[in-house]
Chains A and B, each alone.
Chain A
Amino acid sequence: MKKILFFTLLAVLIVSFAAGCSQGDENTLYFLNFKPESAAAFEKVAMKYKEETGKTLRVVTAASGTYEQTLKSEISKADPPVLFQLNGLNGYNSWKDYCMDLKSSTLYSHLSDPALAISVDEGVYGLPTAVEGYGIIYNKAITDRYFALGNRGVSYTSMEDIKSFEALSALVRDMTQHKEELGIRGVFASTSLKSGEDWRFHTHLANMPIYYEFVDREILGQSNIDNVAFSYASEYKNLFDLYLNHSTTDPKLLGSKQVADSMSEFALGQCAMVQNGNWAWSQIADISGNTVKSEDIKFLPLYIGVPGEEKQGLCVGTETYFAVNKQAPAEKQQLALDFLSWLYTSDNGKELITKELGYIAPYDTFKDDEAPADPLGKEVYSWMNREGVYTVPWVFSVFPGQNFKNDVGAGLLQYAQGTKTWDNVKEIFVNRWKEETR
């Protein structure tokens, strides 16, 4: 009797152990998603894909700012992600052993401009997920109210006249004088500098000075750049100071502000402007008590005071690229390629891209009327096609790793709080860049 009980228990143990180890079947595609803001939309994509093809898309989304470590641990597992995302050339450099050549894929043949892909030595290793743009988002209802004021101190009559840092700065200063009449707490939303929430400044805003520096040094488009002079630091400071000094929040309190705080201030009409990109639309639209009408949301380029910036447009680029795991089994790889071509070329897939994900897809399967429906996406699209305006590419994909960015972000915060000088920030930027690219 005892023996029977013993062996039964043993059997139960073994069976439950084996069950715990079972793997997904061969019709399941494991996709590790980079963008938390797209997580909900990808769930819908997965449902639609299952409905239409019977294949399962398993989407796992890494929490904000933790993609690299999630990928690192997931890819060494027995059932690794087959479809994953790279953040530019730097991402490719750390993951090149895992990136399959996508030159012969259907999706690559539809890419509208081959320069948008990550290509290295004849091979194509990353295909752009979407083109995105960022700049200063402003609420036209508030600026219109300002331009209607009789006692305003600037001669500009509409936002169309704001085409340089000088003009922007004069406008913002005068708007601050009239903030009670405009019903705002400050012109700019909080400069969110909490650690992990500071990417709008250590990455996106820093793109501007570094872009102009790379243009001067004629090294635009290269990777593995092991030093910067940060020669446009004072121009960066121009706009950053403007954000700090004309904001809803005291600069000393910025260390606990998150991006979501800034976006809700904008959505609730407490400020007129906020620096962000077209992906932020859902963060504006979904806030309860949102007072901003979608037709009032417009973009302004990031003017920092560089000569000739009247022709400058938004910063447009690709943050994430699709890559297929080279070390996954061939049938799984095929599954990934099939999914990508379904998503970007089939009618249902395309609808999901424009309606749910809100991506501006750089593929020739999309016609002009298939541009995203949200106002920010539309704005980016129209700025990209504006006559005589150059777009600023995203050079931040060659910035060193997260440690560099965190240190710059921490420096910016301490500068805002007054415990570090601007020269300290410059030093951090230049020195940490050198150290991290050693």
Chain B
Amino acid sequence: MQRSLQKYFWLFLLPTLIAFAISFLVPFVMGIGLSFTEFTTVQDARFVGLQNYIDAIVGNADFINAFWFTVKFTVVSVVSINLLAFILALFLTKGLKGTNFFRTAFFTPNLIGGIVLGYIWQLIINGILAGMGVDLTYDASYGFWGLVVLMNWQMIGYMMIIYVAGLQNIPTELGEVASIDGANGWQTLRHITLPLVMPSVTVCTFLTLSNSFKMFDQNYALTAGAPGKQTQMLALDIYNTFYGSVGQEGVGQAKAVLFFILVSLIALVQLRITRSREADV
């Protein structure tokens, strides 16, 4: 039995492999190729060398502006999501009454799609701002904080579940020993709990970082870049370049390749840093 399974392993792997190749590998390689060409549809492309990359970076300031906006947004939301999620997780592992209900309630927003959330929050925020006689498109900072609130609302529940799992894995004896030794609550948290949930922190920062950096639907639905292009993030800028102007598809593609490199670099660096802080038990 074992042997015949080993003989056929490639067959069992094949469907997944085919799906992976069709929906990921082939488009990925084609995409990199197309970023060096000028094209309207993917079948007829004309080689233009590095021109698209030059246009993407130097051509106009959109890409760079979108990059800085994305960076600001990512920093703020990674910190706030993880902080809030961790605090929630701490409360919800204390064995308080209604813990299960609250865990479910906080997790629910994560199940709603980004576009829907974007439109819902647009209504909410516009409703509030209408009291001041303006709306979401009036000032870029409204859009920025709107996005942060939306992203927090959506992601906190998910991250909280991961932290809850991490916290529950910590042996209770460690806490008891610490309290016998005279450690107060803060010291226990700082020197026992935190080092032991580092693996969860790694996972959570990775997820929030890459999700915030790559965010598209929420941005598209909530602000669509308004006012002007001031709240346009990288993914939305790529989309607009690709579809918005005639003959700019290659530039959009080049931006997408740059975007891929950026995301992978950031994710790798982040993984390395948080990994090095994980404690072995």
A: residues with CB less than 8 A from B are 6, 10, 13, 66, 68-69, 72, 75-76, 90, 93-95, 97, 194-196, 250, 252-253, 255-256, 400-404, 406-407, 410-411, 413-414, 417, 419, 435-436
Q: Cβ of B138 < 8 Å from any Cβ of A?
A: yes
Q: Cβ of B217 < 8 Å from any Cβ of A?
A: no
Q: How far is the CA of A400 from the CA of B40 in the complex (A)?
A: 16
Q: Would you call A94 and B243 a contact (CB within 8 A)?
A: no
Given contacts A253-B130, A255-B135, A256-B136, contact A436 B245 (CB under 8 A): yes
Q: How far is the CA of A172 from the CA of B183 in the complex (A)?
A: 77
CB contacts (< 8 Å) of B43 on chain A: these are 76
Q: Would you call A403 and B240 a contact (CB within 8 A)?
A: yes
Q: Would you call A402 and B133 a contact (CB within 8 A)?
A: no
Binds A, one of B72-80, B194-202, B221-229, B253-261: B221-229
CB contacts (< 8 Å) of B137 on chain A: these are 194-195, 255-256, 413, 417
CB contacts (< 8 Å) of B139 on chain A: these are 419
Q: Would you call A195 and B226 a contact (CB within 8 A)?
A: yes
Q: How far is the CA of A68 from the CA of B40 in the complex (A)?
A: 10
With both beta carbons as reference points, the residue of chain A lying nearest to B132 in the complex is identified as A252
| A313 CB, min distance to chain B CBs, angstroms | 31
Given contacts A76-B42, A255-B135, A255-B136, contact A196 B224 (CB under 8 A): yes
CB contacts (< 8 Å) of A10 on chain B: these are 11
CB contacts (< 8 Å) of B134 on chain A: these are 252-253, 417
Query: Would you mind naming 7 contact pairs between A and B with Cβ atoms under 8 Å apart?
Result: A94-B247, A401-B245, A403-B241, A406-B240, A410-B226, A413-B137, A414-B227
CB contacts (< 8 Å) of A194 on chain B: these are 137
Q: Would you call A255 and B44 a contact (CB within 8 A)?
A: no
Given contacts A69-B243, A195-B225, A414-B228, contact A94 B40 (CB under 8 A): yes
Instruction: Count B interface residues, CB 8 Å.
Output: 35
0/1 string, B178-218, CB within 8 A of A gives 1 = 00000000000000000000000000000000000000000
Q: Would you call B245 and A403 a contact (CB within 8 A)?
A: yes
Chain B residues 45-75 with CB under 8 Å of chain A are 60
CB contacts (< 8 Å) of B229 on chain A: these are 407, 410
Contact among B60, B133, B241 with A252 in the assembled complex (CB-CB below 8 Å): B133
| B127 CB, min distance to chain A CBs, angstroms | 10
CB contacts (< 8 Å) of A66 on chain B: these are 243
Q: How far is the CA of A196 from the CA of B119 in the complex (A)?
A: 14
| A252 CB, min distance to chain B CBs, angstroms | 5
Q: How far is the CA of A138 from the CA of B44 in the complex (A)?
A: 49
B: residues with CB less than 8 A from A are 8, 11, 15, 40-44, 60, 122, 126, 130, 133-139, 224-229, 240-249
Contact among A93, A252, A255 with B246 in the assembled complex (CB-CB below 8 Å): A93
CB contacts (< 8 Å) of B60 on chain A: these are 435
CB contacts (< 8 Å) of A13 on chain B: these are 15
Q: Would you call B133 and A253 a contact (CB within 8 A)?
A: yes
Given contacts A410-B226, A413-B227, 19 further A-B contacts (CB under 8 A): A72-B40, A72-B249, A75-B41, A76-B43, A97-B44, A195-B137, A250-B133, A252-B135, A255-B135, A255-B136, A255-B138, A255-B227, A401-B246, A401-B248, A403-B248, A407-B228, A410-B229, A413-B137, A417-B138
With both beta carbons as reference points, the residue of chain A lying nearest to B225 in the complex is identified as A195
Q: Would you call A410 and B227 a contact (CB within 8 A)?
A: yes
Q: Would you call A195 and B246 a contact (CB within 8 A)?
A: no
With both beta carbons as reference points, the residue of chain B lying nearest to A94 in the complex is identified as B246
Q: How far is the CA of A411 from the CA of B137 in the complex (A)?
A: 11
| B136 CB, min distance to chain A CBs, angstroms | 7
Q: How far is the CA of A103 from the CA of B5 in the complex (A)?
A: 64
With both beta carbons as reference points, the residue of chain A lying nearest to B126 in the complex is identified as A256
With both beta carbons as reference points, the residue of chain A lying nearest to B59 in the complex is identified as A435
Q: How far is the CA of A403 from the CA of B242 in the complex (A)?
A: 10
Q: How far is the CA of A250 from the CA of B132 in the complex (A)?
A: 12
With both beta carbons as reference points, the residue of chain B lying nearest to A97 in the complex is identified as B44
With both beta carbons as reference points, the residue of chain A lying nearest to B133 in the complex is identified as A252
Q: Would you call B227 and A419 a contact (CB within 8 A)?
A: yes
| A68 CB, min distance to chain B CBs, angstroms | 6
Q: How far is the CA of A250 from the CA of B131 in the complex (A)?
A: 12
| B54 CB, min distance to chain A CBs, angstroms | 13
Q: Would you call A76 and B41 a contact (CB within 8 A)?
A: yes
CB contacts (< 8 Å) of A93 on chain B: these are 246
Q: How far is the CA of A76 from the CA of B45 in the complex (A)?
A: 12
Q: Which 6 pairs show the lowest CB-CB distances between chains A and B?
A: A255-B137, A403-B244, A69-B243, A401-B245, A403-B245, A410-B228
Q: How far is the CA of A403 from the CA of B228 in the complex (A)?
A: 11
Q: Would you call B247 and A406 a contact (CB within 8 A)?
A: no
Q: How far is the CA of A376 from the CA of B11 in the complex (A)?
A: 64
CB contacts (< 8 Å) of A435 on chain B: these are 60
With both beta carbons as reference points, the residue of chain B lying nearest to A437 in the complex is identified as B246
Q: How far is the CA of A13 from the CA of B133 in the complex (A)?
A: 59
CB contacts (< 8 Å) of A6 on chain B: these are 8
| A339 CB, min distance to chain B CBs, angstroms | 24
With both beta carbons as reference points, the residue of chain B lying nearest to A77 in the complex is identified as B41
